Structures are given as C-alpha cells and as structure tokens.
Amino acid sequence: MLDRQLLRSDPDAVKAGARRKGIDAPTSAFLRVDTEFRALRARLDLQRAELNTTSKAIGQLMGQGKLAEAETAKAQAKVLSDAIKEGEADERDLDAQLRAIELQFPNIPHASSPDGSTPDQNVQVREWGEKPEFSFKPKVHWDIGSALGILDFERAAKIAGSGFAVYRGLGARLQRALFNFMIDHHTLRGEYQEVYPPYLVNSASLTGTGQLPKFEQELYRADEDLYLIPTAEVPVTNLYRDEILDTSQLPMKLAAFSGCFRKEAGAAGKDTRGIQRVHQFDKVELVKYSLPESSYDELDSLTADAESVLRELGIPYRVVLVCAGEMGFSNAMQYDLEVWAPGIGAYLEVSSCTNFEAFQARRANIRFRRGQGEKLEFVHTLNGSGVACPRLLISLLECFQREDGGVAIPKALRPYVGADEIAPA
C-alpha cells in the first residue's frame, strides 16, 4: 500500500508509476472520497471542540445557579453529541472506502527499473556458467523423466487433473534432495533462520503481502477465511504483522521451505508441457525485513544468495532486471534468475528477487522504532526464491542428461540423493 499522503500530494506521480505497470490507478476515486473524508473529519473536530466548551459551560452555569441556561446548554450538548456519533459512523465508512481504494494501487516501480511490458524488454545484468554442448540432440525433460520412470504425468492427471506431476523413485528422492540441499545451503552458513510455516493462511495475511484482493482468482480457497499459500512469502512476511520491531532485529533474514499452490498454470496451453507450469510445487523462499536506507543493498545480497544455489549445482543461468510492466503488483524492483534448459531451448525463471520497499509493511502494519521516543517507521520487506524446484529440476535433467538416456547428479546433491546418477533401466 502506498503512503496516503503521497496519494494526496502527488497523484500524478502515482498515476504515472502505475501506468508503467500497465495499471490504471484509481486516483480520481481516491481524491473524491478523501476530500469528503477530510471535510468530515474537520467538521467533527470543530463539533468535538464545541461539545467540550459546552460541557464545561454546563458545570459553570450550574455552579452559578443559572439552571435554565444550563438546561439549554445540555440540550445543545445532546444535539452535538448525536451529530458527532452520526459523523463518526460516516467517518468509519469513508475510511473503509478509502482503504478499499488504496488496496487497488500498485507499488510504484523504482526509477531504475526499465520501461516495458514484455519479457524481451527485461535487461540482462549478467550470465554465469557454460551452456552444455551435446553430441546428440538433447531431449526435453518430460521425455527424459517418463523414460526413466521418475515423472508420471498420466497418473497425476488421473488423480488430480492437468497441471500436476507424480515424482517416483529417484525422481522423488531428487526432488526431496533439492529442497533439503537448498534449505541447508541458506541456513547452515548462519545467514538465514529456518522457518517452517503453515500452508494455510487467512485473508489478512494475503492482503498484507498483496495477493488480496486483486489476485483472489489465482488462489485455492480452503474455507471462508483460509487459503492455500501461493508461496511461503505470505506466512513468513506476515509473522510480524501488526508488530513493532527494534533496529537491533534488522536486517532479519528468514528461509522457509513450503509447498506452493496456484490456480494459474499457463494461458491457452502455453508452457504447460511437463512441469514448466504446475498448480503445486515446492520452493525455498528467502524473506528479509530491512531498514529503509539499506534495502537495496539487501536486494543485491538476496539475489547473490539465490544465485549461489545455482552455482553450487553448476547450472548455467542469467540474471535479468525486470521491466516495469512485467513486475508484480507489489514490487518496486525485481531481478529474475533464469536457468538454461537445453531440451526446451529456453531460459526458465526459477527466482524473482524483489524489494517491496514499505508497500507490504504498510498493508501489514509492520513497523520499527530506531530508539526510545523516536517515531515509528515502516520496515522494507524483500523476498526471493532460493529457489523454486520444478524449473530447477527441468534444467538439471536437461543439462545433465546423457546420450544413453540417464542423468548425472550434480556433486552437491549426491550426498542427499545417495547416488551419482539416474541410470536407464
């Protein structure tokens, strides 16, 4: 959520920032309701002051024996009190209207985020690793996985529908090895504290991180006020909702493994073969709470932490600075990590490393105090996948495939898998 004072003082800048994301910001609706809200609040302040004066006068008149005048003052006080109660009810209603409108404003892209609305307008920042060369035509992961008996799409569709996969044998062990390796990688070095969050969250949590109300159609709803998480970002960022932190706690770095559940799995069949886009997947998420003045340094280190997973595995990747129109609704700046998948012949995004600045913290009311007596400020929140399993597994299977149909297992994963390879039968 944006600062209400910014919406009042510079609506043109807000509208321009939203337009960079391809969103029409409701600035006119906000200003109309806000004008009414502020006028009502000013009137209530005057009425409260008048009621206070009248109430004092009643006591004075009673003490002077001016009973008739005191009764007249009491009647005036009753009229004022009733008007104030009615006005306060209207004030609450207008404030709720403002809040509903404010939730529709996207975060403003950072000035250094490039303009654009399509992936090809993202800006490549760096590349790492050598793309593998093969003496044979590389296969796609769905053929590799099916031939090895480690990915079962037919039975997944039978038990759950399209957009799911069953991992079997060494495929299941490799999947488990990936997220165990990643959570160990981030936490055993002492950088991040491990968190294992609930997979169900309430609407207040999803509102805090920005999924609600705008993206409700992409969520799986379990009951009236519980949803399956689309990412561990939601429960981990909301750990400190409505709390006040101390500067000694910042920056706070948390890492969480979770399942993730999303209805959206590709439009009109695009990228839906195999496990490129699925409704359920595993992911290790990195979340940071930061001081405002250091949040962009924290974004750089967060991105480097996510990259370190790919380097340990020896998987070639690139980092792109995402253009404004491709960024998420809540994002101020975003780097994407994309791994190379030689069978598909494309880069696949496995992590989005994002600085939300105070946008999520303002929605979730996460604040900090620099010292005793200092004013409260909103923290800056950041998150990035460290990293997401399905596309990481795609890259691994396709980059480390062999001509005989087997797959070599990266050295860093071998202790977790208990094998050096997945060999054909």
User: Which one of the listed residues 352, 362, 367, 395 is annotated catalytic?
Assistant: 352
CB atoms within 10 A of CB 71: 13
| Residue pair 206/238 in contact by the 8 Å Cβ criterion | no
Task: Give the C-alpha separation, 391 to 341, whole Å.
Answer: 9
378 in Cβ contact with 293 (< 8 Å): no
Helix, strand, coil share (%) of the chain residues, nearest 5: 45, 20, 30
Report how many helices (DSSP H) and strands (DSSP E) the chain contains, helices first.
13, 18
Active site residue 50: no
Q: Among 20, 262, 363, 367, which one carries the catalytic annotation?
A: 262
Q: Please state the φ and ψ torsions of residue 375, each to the nearest 5 degrees.
A: -70, 155
| Active-site position among 277, 362, 363, 367 | 277
DSSP H or E run through 321: strand 317-321
Strand-strand pairing, 244-246 and 226-228: unpaired
Give the single-character DSSP code of 241. Answer: T
Non-local CB neighbours of 196 within 8 Å, separated by 6+ positions:
256, 257, 258
| Cα–Cα distance, 39 to 368 (Å, whole number) | 31
Q: Which of the following is catalytic: 173, 363, 367, 391?
A: 391
Tell me which amino acid residue 120 is.
Answer: D
349 belongs to the catalytic site: yes
Which of 246, 274, 259 shows the shortest CA–CA distance to 379? 246
Q: How far apart are CA 118 and CA 120, in angstroms?
A: 6
Q: Considering Cα of 161, then 273, then 422, then 393, what sign does the dihedral take?
A: negative
> Cα–Cα distance between 88 and 352 in angstroms, integer?
44
If phi > 0 it is left, if psi is from -120 to 50 it is alpha, else beta; for residue 65 that is left
Between CA 329 and CA 1 the distance in angstroms is 10
Partners of residue 244 on adjacent β-strands: 367
Q: Is 262 assigned a catalytic role?
A: yes
- At 41, the amino acid letter reads R
**Which residue from 277, 336, 265 is spatially nearest to 142, judged by alpha carbons?**
277
Q: Length of the chain in residues, anyone?
A: 425
Active site residue 146: no
Q: Which residues contact 65 (CB under 8 A, 6 or more apart)?
A: none
Is 318 one of the annotated active-site residues of the chain? Answer: no
Out of 349, 351, 367, 398, which one is annotated catalytic?
A: 349
Q: Which residues are catalytic?
A: 262, 277, 349, 352, 391
